[in-house]
Amino acid sequence: MSSSKLSRREAFGVGIALGGAAMTGPLWASGQAAAAAPAAFAGRKPSPFKIGVASYSLRQFPREKMIEMVKGLGVKYVTLKDVHLSRTDTPEQTRAARQQIADAGLTIMGGGTLTWKVNDEAAIRKDFEYAKNGGFPLMVCSPAPETLDTLEKLVKEYDIRVAIHNHGPEDPWYPAPADALAKLQGRDPRMGICMDVGHAVRAGADIIQSVSLAGPKLLDLHVKDLADPKSRDSQVEVGRGVLDIPGLLRALAATRFAGHVSLEYEIKASDPFAGMQESLAYMRGVADAVAMT
């Protein structure tokens, strides 16, 4: 790790000093998360970022357990995968689930990833209705290029932002953030990108330069880390890999990024809590260090 980066020891040290240490055990497992999380994180200096989680990280758990686990992680921001807010539910069921999440003290930052492979306005409109009922201010999406005119029309009609997600070298449309940005030139400012930093690095992108390149078009962020910048199967806890997370957060601070800094933890799907704790503790420590500079 270069000297320009904050070490894991430094990041954890800052987080601990400011009251943002990782919790000592998976409190959700004992049913104490709701009571214990506020106490464990009380007194933390407010983060300059909205650090939260993508619920895809908890895809093997039902919505009620997902809510409990997110609260146990000490975060309040969440982007929802449809496994936790089904696209096949009725509008009434969707609104009820939205209320359940809000009543738990969580803030819905968006939903997705939603994929549209063909330019079918009725199908895309149905997803905008789903987003409206789910209270999504933003839809993370992977739209075929030929859908973008329709997408722009519906963005204007529903006033819901859309953020194109890059999926790395395997993605036929948007391997890197720059590929999505190129398709968005001249379009409505509510159309932007969700940069997945792991996939972006695998596609050869510099994630720090990508923040500057995107500017206000960077609407959302999926954070992960890789031991090998070329291998999607090398994901590790954030801070244990080779991605320059401190540099990324400094770049975000420089652009006054106000979107969701969302942990997307894709490994250890059946038992992700400890790894998510560790990742979030590192992210908080780095964020607090950035705030002090």
Residue 43 has pLDDT above 80, yes or no: no
Q: Of 112, 53, 13, 8, nearest to 276 (Cα)?
A: 53
pLDDT at 5 (0 to 100): 53
Question: Helix or strand or coil: residue 220?
Answer: strand
Reading the block at residue 155, the tokens are 């963005």
pLDDT at 9 (0 to 100): 52
- pLDDT tens for 240-291 read 999 999 999 999 999 999 999 999 999 999 999 999 999 999 999 999 999 8
Q: What domains, with CATH codes, occur in the chain?
A: 49-292 (3.20.20.150)
Which carries the bigger pLDDT value, residue 38 or residue 154?
Answer: 154
The count of other CB atoms within 10 Å of the CB of residue 254 is 12
Report how far residue 137's alpha carbon sits from residue 158's, in angstroms, rounded to the nearest whole number.
10
Report how far residue 156's alpha carbon sits from residue 160's, in angstroms, rounded to the nearest whole number.
8
- pLDDT bin (cut points 50, 70, 90) of residue 293 is confident
pLDDT at 16 (0 to 100): 40
What share of residues in the chain are helix, strand, coil (percent, to 5)?
45, 15, 35
pLDDT at 28 (0 to 100): 43
Provide the residue type at 212 as one letter.
S
Mean pLDDT for the stretch of residues 57-79: 97
% of the chain residues with pLDDT over 90: 83
- pLDDT tens for 81-129 read 999 999 999 999 999 999 999 999 999 999 999 999 999 999 999 999 9
DSSP conformation letters of 52-64:
EEEGGGGTTS-HH
DSSP conformation letters of 246-287:
HHHHHHHHHTT--SEEEE---SSTTS-HHHHHHHHHHHHHHH
218: phi then psi, degrees, rounded to nearest 5: -80, 105
Which residues does residue 192 pair with via DSSP β-bridges, in sequence order? 163
